[in-house]
Amino acid sequence: MTGQHDVQQTRALSVESNGLNVIADADRKGRPSQLFWPWFGANVSVLGLSYGAFALGFGISFWQAVIAGVIGVVFSFLLCGLIALAGKRGSAPTMVLSRAAFGVRGNKLPSLVSWLLTVGWETVLTILATLATATVFERLGWGGGNLTKVIALVVVGLLTVACGVLGFDLIMRAQTIITVVTGVLTVVYIILVADQIHWSTVSALPSGSSQAVIGALVFLMTGFGLGWVNAAADYSRYLPRQASSRGVVGWTTFGGSVAPVVLLVFGLLLAGSSADLSKAIGADPIGALAEALPTWFLVPFVIVAVLGLVGGAVLDIYSSGLALLSLGLPVKRYVAAFIDGVVMIGGTIYVVFYGGDFLGQFQGFLITLGVPIAAWCGIMLADIAARQRNYAEGDLYRSNGRYGDVQWLPVATMLVATGIGWGLVTNTLASWLTWQGYLLGPFGLGGKDGAWAYANLGVLAALVIGFLVQWFGRGPAVRRQEATA
């Protein structure tokens, strides 16, 4: 047993050589239940508590927010679970498997969007960890200025980049540790601040319109599972082909959604009890949550906050490196992950030291990239549903193979669905995104100031358009391709 443990530890601390390649049969291992650890570890962050304030910001009641949250979180991670099936069938990264739908070169479009989304998310998580550390240190009297932020950025950046560079084995081990530590400390946090909840205040929150509920639901979809769909097969690809498909879907969905649902509901109770807390979360989503804590728990809180955020950033930097490779960058996977780490740190420096309002930019980022990734997700789901056999792995890397060079219908569908989707969302909090919402008037939805302005219909529209066009436009061809392969 000692020898086996030493081998596992050595593998975890060595640089993973796998990149865009198919995982060999001899290296496929594990059970679907092991997917629970990376997905739970990446989503157990106390940031989930802050989403309670984000949801109530749509002007809805507690129960409306609970319904929107449960549906939005679980459904969005179910999408991840369904796309994870492609990893088991093809044992290649998500953005390589996507070539079956878009063609080998045509897939550069979703690869670019995927890279932007994952780099953006890892940057957001690093920003939050840096701001939270500075806020807590300031309250402890240890200084909360620029020096603290620099130190926090260096620590978080090194942890994230190291895991991203070393790869899968270290990530799986790290996520198990992160899951246990953050899970326990998060429960302690909930116990300590439970007396800050005032049910009479929460239950008195007025109900909002159905459009506001839809807007909150879609925002929560984009903030949780929809932000992970483009990476969903990156971890299931290591499973043996005979692994249970139902298990892959179920454990991915359960692992991703169970912590966010619990944290969101408690976050709703906290934010609904205090308008001041809800407002403070907009400026510093994690640090504001420390205000109600006793001094002795502030250091453990920093640990749980940073580890939870690092858990998400680690999965993002691994997948962003793979997306960068699928764009055609001729480097090793660990070099691509390192490049993304540099971009992540640069983005964090800009926002933390020069960027101003965080929440507005964050919401704008989520909804704007949520539209094209929803369009891709719809196309990918239809393509997976149409295929009943394993992927022809060699053809995923050849432009003259069965999947072709450029499949123009999916490419055009993604572009058109994105154009329609951006016309049906608004981002007034981010000044550089006020051009969106241009179809709300022509479609009779009241324009940018109407009742549907903040319903984020564009994300749902892109998802549905992508699925329907691919299913009816390319589904028969895919099924014929499967039958004659």
Determine, yes or no, domain membership for 248: yes
Q: Which two tokens stand for residue 133?
A: 């550390």
pLDDT band at residue 73 using 50, 70 and 90 as cut-offs: very high
**Over pLDDT 70: what percentage of the chain?**
91
Determine, yes or no, domain membership for 13: no
pLDDT at residue 7, as a whole number = 38
Long-range contacts of 153-158 (CB under 8 A, 24+ apart): 153/126, 153/345, 153/348, 153/349, 153/352, 155/306, 156/126, 156/129, 156/130, 156/306, 156/309, 156/310, 156/313, 157/126, 157/341, 157/344, 157/345, 157/348
pLDDT at residue 4, as a whole number = 42
Taking residues 478-484, what's their average pLDDT? 78
Domain hosting 458: range is 31-484
pLDDT at residue 8, as a whole number = 43
Q: Which of 181-185, 208-212, 389-393 has the lowest mean pLDDT?
A: 181-185
Taking residues 79-90, what's their average pLDDT? 93
pLDDT band at residue 6 using 50, 70 and 90 as cut-offs: very low
pLDDT at residue 168, as a whole number = 60
Taking residues 301-322, what's their average pLDDT? 81
Determine, yes or no, domain membership for 3: no
Determine, yes or no, domain membership for 225: yes
Given a contact cutoff of 8 angstroms between Cβ atoms, the answer to whether 157 and 5 are in contact is: no
User: Considering only CA atoms, which of 20, 7, 9, 5 is closest in space to residue 327?
Assistant: 20
Q: Is 444 left (phi over 0), alpha (psi -120 to 50) or beta?
A: left
Number of domains composing the chain = 1
pLDDT at residue 3, as a whole number = 44
pLDDT at residue 357, as a whole number = 62
CATH at 142: 1.10.4160.10
Given a contact cutoff of 8 angstroms between Cβ atoms, the answer to whether 303 and 150 are in contact is: no
pLDDT at residue 257, as a whole number = 95
Q: Which of 120-129, 191-200, 259-268, 309-318 has the lowest mean pLDDT?
A: 309-318
Determine, yes or no, domain membership for 113: yes
- For 419-478, what is each residue's pLDDT tens digit? 999 999 987 766 778 889 999 999 999 998 888 988 999 999 999 999 999 999 998 888
Report the mean per-residue pLDDT for the chain: 86
Whole-angstrom distance, CA of residue 262 vs CA of residue 240: 32
Q: What b-and-e string marks burial along 332-348, b requiring 16 or more CB atoms within 10 Å of the CB?
A: bbbbbbbbbbebbbebb
Determine, yes or no, domain membership for 24: no
Determine, yes or no, domain membership for 480: yes
Whole-angstrom distance, CA of residue 56 vs CA of residue 207: 10
Q: Is 427 exposed, middle or buried (0-12, 13-18, 19+ CB in 10 A)?
A: buried
Determine, yes or no, domain membership for 19: no
